[in-house]
Structure 1
Amino acid sequence: MPTLLLGAVAYDPKVVTIWAGFRAWLRDHGLPFDFVLYSNYERQAEDLASGRIHAAWNSPLAWLRVRRLAGHHVRPLVMRDTDQDLTSVVVVRADSPFEHLRDLKDHRVAVGAIDSPQATLIPVSLLRHAGLTPGENVTVRRFDVGVGLHGDHIGGERDAARALLTGEADAAAMIDANHLLFSGEGTLPAGSTRVLAHSEPYDHCVLAVHDSAPAGLADRLGELLLSMSYADPGVRPLLDLEGLTEWRPGRTTGFGPLEAAISESAFYDEDGRLTEPEYRP
């Protein structure tokens, strides 16, 4: 019997634990399944688009690149409950004079890694729509930690937050959940910052499949993942590590803000080729 092969990016050692656990559970439920690990999302996206792997756990940026590369040959299968309707924020110090994004003209904004959807691409798009052009009337300082991991390594966001706190930047960009995290862990002391602007809601990671997948196995993978219960002690630790309480059917409707940001910045071209000259995963 053929085996369904999935790709995942090893942005953290826990990725091995997560997918080894999922593999054992899926095999116990009759699905011939295995996974391979990648060092960056670009190679994984190219391999999924070409059908060298059958499925992939994609960042939102990788998903949009795969769609440009492969078109109707790929489809979303599932996503986490925590991947839907997220927002990015631009944060300033609580005592700053800024009231609107446009007030950041001629000031400094700290962002995450060059390929972070939530901490760079979407927030910089917000700046553009407020009339701020990086390198012209606003200075954008990137913190390129974990380049190639599409922001999964949040070190760049954390460094941007620290730059705001120390006065190296006048504003910082991050996903809303990490603003809460940084406040809770003390990176941003409680009450030291406030949100200047929010992005529109958007979706995040997607497990996608290629139409080269063995007949019926991709759909069975989706059925099994959707059947996972947080009440099951056998899978709950894996779900906690992966940051979800339930899998949901994948959707394509939540990627407008990132699609716009990719096109505005010419990060990829319309055929999915890398066109950002400073990006070296």
Structure 2
Amino acid sequence: MTLVLGAVAHDPKVVTVWSGLRTWLRERGLPVDFVLYSHYELQVEELVAGNVHVAWNSPLAWIRTERLANAAGRSTWPLVMRDSDQDLTSVILVRRDSPYEKITDLTEHTIGLGAVDSPQASLLPRALLRESGLVPGENVTVRHFDEGVGLHGNDDAGERAAAAALLAGSVDAAAVIDLNHLIFTRQNTLPPRSTRVLTRTAPYDLGNLTVGTTAPTELIERLRGLLLSMNYANPVDRPHLDLQDMLMWRHGRTCGYQQLAASVDAEGFYSTDGAITAEGYRP
């Protein structure tokens, strides 16, 4: 039997990543192949239906997978995660010369966000706004840069557009994941000392390799063991880890998704049984 893995083709390098990992796993005796999807919503539905055994899920895709599976009386769980997907934060940026000192200073102003389905640049920053008493459409304006809708923020084009709008002065603040703040500064998308961090979210986790409802236990355990055995010091393993911007695989966990799940409920993004309920959201 071949273990079938699902992944979303959010970037051309996805093919390179999973083709290389497929070869690495097969060389170690694990029969595995992969299927690519154009967006996460279809991948989630295919995983829960049993058409793939495991899937590389965004945090938002994990939440929907768990809800759909629970509604169907099935179980699903996170197998492994990248070390680089744990304990991340998003930041609210303002121009360095702006007068804003705290998040409530943005009352009656405009904040640029990434795509509507981006956990790191939309759902979690919107939760941060609500916690601070800022309600989009009431006492603060949010402007979404809906690039790559359906990719759950894995395409950073929305964050880049929000950052560019901040520099241009068409928004007063912008939300990006902390890592992209560093990358945008290094690439001069945000020139050094042009912006500053006003506030940040609590830490959260990003993606995981999710085990589906029909996954063969023996092959899943072999997959987990092989991935956890990858060693950055090993020159054979290192290129595969570098391609995924990581040093090591870690055991999957769910504790880093709680604030996102709460935001999903507050926004009405998915129902408790996993139906898409976000107004106007269609990948």
TM-score when normalising by structure 2: 0.97
**Paired letter, 1:137:** N
Deviation per CA, 1:77-135: give whole Å up to 9, x if none.
00000010000110101111111111111100000001100001100111111111111
Partner of 1:17: 16
Partner of 2:165: 163
Structure-2 separation of matches of 1:248 and 1:272: 27
Partner of 1:143: 145
Structure-1 separation of matches of 2:154 and 2:213: 27
| 8 Å contact from structure 1 (residues 109, 140) kept in 2 | yes
Deviation per CA, 1:241-260: give whole Å up to 9, x if none.
11111000000111112111
Matched, 1:187 2:189: yes
Residues 86-105 of structure 1: pairs in structure 2 closer than 5 A: 86-105=88-107
| 8 Å contact from structure 1 (residues 3, 214) kept in 2 | no
| 8 Å contact from structure 2 (residues 58, 152) kept in 1 | yes
**Paired letter, 1:84:** Q
Partner of 1:31: 30
Partner of 1:53: 52
SS at match of 1:73: coil
1:219 is displaced (CA, Å) by 1.0
SS at match of 1:221: helix
Partner of 2:85: 83
1:223 is displaced (CA, Å) by 0.5
Work out the number of aligned pairs and report it: 280
Matched, 1:112 2:114: yes
Give the counterpart of 1:237 among 225, 228, 239: 239
Structure-1 separation of matches of 2:174 and 2:61: 24
Structure-1 separation of matches of 2:241 and 2:166: 33
TM-score when normalising by structure 1: 0.98
Deviation per CA, 1:47-96: give whole Å up to 9, x if none.
11121110000001001110111135111100000010000110101111
| 8 Å contact from structure 1 (residues 88, 173) kept in 2 | yes
Runs of 4+ in 1 over 4 A off after TM superposition: none
Structure-1 separation of matches of 2:9 and 2:233: 27
Partner of 1:227: 229
SS at match of 1:97: coil
**Greater Cα offset, 101-110 or 207-216:** 207-216
Give the counterpart of 1:258 among 247, 257, 260: 260
**Paired letter, 2:51:** R
Partner of 2:128: 126
Structure-2 separation of matches of 1:107 and 1:23: 48
SS at match of 2:183: helix
Structure-2 separation of matches of 1:167 and 1:278: 27
1:26 is displaced (CA, Å) by 0.4
Partner of 1:276: 278
Deviation per CA, 1:153-211: give whole Å up to 9, x if none.
00000100010001000000010011111111111111111111110100000001124
Structure-1 separation of matches of 2:3 and 2:32: 5
SS at match of 2:262: helix
1:215 is displaced (CA, Å) by 3.2
Structure 1 alignment gaps of length 5 or more: none
Structure-2 separation of matches of 1:69 and 1:17: 30
